[in-house]
Amino acid sequence: MPEKRKKYDREFRDGAVRIVEETGKPIAQVARDLGVNEGTLGNWVNRARAEREGSGELTPDDAAELKRLRDEVAELRMERDVLKRSVVLWVKEATK
Protein backbone atom coordinates (compact mmCIF):
# COMPACT_ATOMS: atom_id res chain seq x y z
CA MET A 1 0.00 0.00 0.00
CA PRO A 2 1.47 3.40 -0.95
CA GLU A 3 2.61 5.68 1.82
CA LYS A 4 0.52 8.81 2.32
CA ARG A 5 2.62 11.97 2.22
CA LYS A 6 2.07 14.67 4.78
CA LYS A 7 1.53 18.23 3.63
CA TYR A 8 3.01 21.02 5.72
CA ASP A 9 1.84 24.59 5.37
CA ARG A 10 4.22 27.47 4.75
CA GLU A 11 3.99 28.76 8.30
CA PHE A 12 5.03 25.39 9.76
CA ARG A 13 7.98 25.08 7.35
CA ASP A 14 9.17 28.62 8.08
CA GLY A 15 8.86 28.01 11.82
CA ALA A 16 10.85 24.78 11.61
CA VAL A 17 13.61 26.52 9.65
CA ARG A 18 13.63 29.37 12.16
CA ILE A 19 14.04 26.89 15.03
CA VAL A 20 17.06 25.32 13.34
CA GLU A 21 18.69 28.66 12.59
CA GLU A 22 17.96 30.44 15.88
CA THR A 23 18.68 27.59 18.29
CA GLY A 24 21.65 26.13 16.47
CA LYS A 25 20.33 22.64 17.15
CA PRO A 26 21.12 19.95 14.56
CA ILE A 27 18.55 19.42 11.85
CA ALA A 28 18.14 15.79 12.90
CA GLN A 29 17.20 16.73 16.46
CA VAL A 30 14.72 19.41 15.41
CA ALA A 31 13.20 17.03 12.86
CA ARG A 32 12.69 14.36 15.53
CA ASP A 33 11.16 16.91 17.91
CA LEU A 34 8.71 18.10 15.25
CA GLY A 35 7.97 14.67 13.79
CA VAL A 36 9.31 15.61 10.36
CA ASN A 37 11.63 13.58 8.16
CA GLU A 38 15.23 14.77 8.59
CA GLY A 39 15.80 15.03 4.84
CA THR A 40 12.64 17.09 4.41
CA LEU A 41 13.69 19.59 7.08
CA GLY A 42 17.17 19.70 5.57
CA ASN A 43 15.66 20.60 2.20
CA TRP A 44 13.60 23.37 3.80
CA VAL A 45 16.68 24.81 5.52
CA ASN A 46 18.79 24.64 2.35
CA ARG A 47 16.04 26.29 0.31
CA ALA A 48 15.66 29.09 2.87
CA ARG A 49 19.42 29.72 2.88
CA ALA A 50 19.53 29.76 -0.92
CA GLU A 51 16.66 32.25 -1.07
CA ARG A 52 18.38 34.50 1.44
CA GLU A 53 21.76 34.36 -0.26
CA GLY A 54 20.43 34.30 -3.77
CA SER A 55 20.96 31.43 -6.09
CA GLY A 56 23.85 33.15 -7.85
CA GLU A 57 22.02 33.19 -11.15
CA LEU A 58 21.02 36.44 -12.79
CA THR A 59 17.52 37.04 -13.96
CA PRO A 60 17.17 38.36 -17.52
CA ASP A 61 16.42 41.83 -16.11
CA ASP A 62 19.53 41.71 -13.92
CA ALA A 63 21.67 40.58 -16.85
CA ALA A 64 20.37 43.43 -19.01
CA GLU A 65 21.02 45.96 -16.26
CA LEU A 66 24.51 44.56 -15.68
CA LYS A 67 25.31 44.94 -19.39
CA ARG A 68 23.97 48.49 -19.42
CA LEU A 69 26.00 49.40 -16.35
CA ARG A 70 29.19 47.88 -17.76
CA ASP A 71 28.71 49.85 -20.97
CA GLU A 72 28.14 53.01 -18.95
CA VAL A 73 31.28 52.40 -16.87
CA ALA A 74 33.34 51.91 -20.03
CA GLU A 75 32.02 55.16 -21.50
CA LEU A 76 32.65 57.09 -18.29
CA ARG A 77 36.22 55.78 -18.08
CA MET A 78 36.83 56.87 -21.64
CA GLU A 79 35.45 60.35 -20.89
CA ARG A 80 37.61 60.55 -17.76
CA ASP A 81 40.74 59.66 -19.74
CA VAL A 82 39.94 62.29 -22.38
CA LEU A 83 39.47 64.91 -19.66
CA LYS A 84 42.77 63.95 -18.04
CA ARG A 85 44.58 64.40 -21.36
CA SER A 86 42.83 67.72 -21.90
CA VAL A 87 43.94 68.99 -18.50
CA VAL A 88 47.53 67.95 -19.18
CA LEU A 89 47.50 69.80 -22.51
CA TRP A 90 45.87 72.83 -20.94
CA VAL A 91 48.51 72.97 -18.17
CA LYS A 92 51.31 72.65 -20.74
CA GLU A 93 49.85 75.54 -22.76
CA ALA A 94 49.36 77.68 -19.65
CA THR A 95 52.96 77.23 -18.50
CA LYS A 96 54.56 78.24 -21.83
Does 49 share its domain with 18?
Answer: yes
Does 47 share its domain with 1?
Answer: yes
Q: Which domain holds residue 26?
A: 1-57
Does 30 share its domain with 76?
Answer: no
Q: What is the CATH number of the domain that holds 31?
A: 1.10.10
- End-to-end Cα separation, the chain, in angstroms: 98
Distance CA 61, CA 48 (A): 23
How many domains is the chain built from? Answer: 2
| Beta carbons within 10 angstroms of residue 62's beta carbon | 11
Does 45 share its domain with 27?
Answer: yes
Record the pTM.
Answer: 0.54
Does 17 share its domain with 48?
Answer: yes
pLDDT in tens, the chain (96 residues): 567 778 899 999 999 999 999 999 999 999 999 999 999 999 999 999 888 877 667 788 988 999 999 999 999 999 999 999 999 889 888 887
For residue 56, the surrounding DSSP H or E stretch is: none
Distance CA 84, CA 89 (A): 9
Does 85 share its domain with 46?
Answer: no
Residues 6+ apart with CB under 8 A from 34: 16, 19, 41
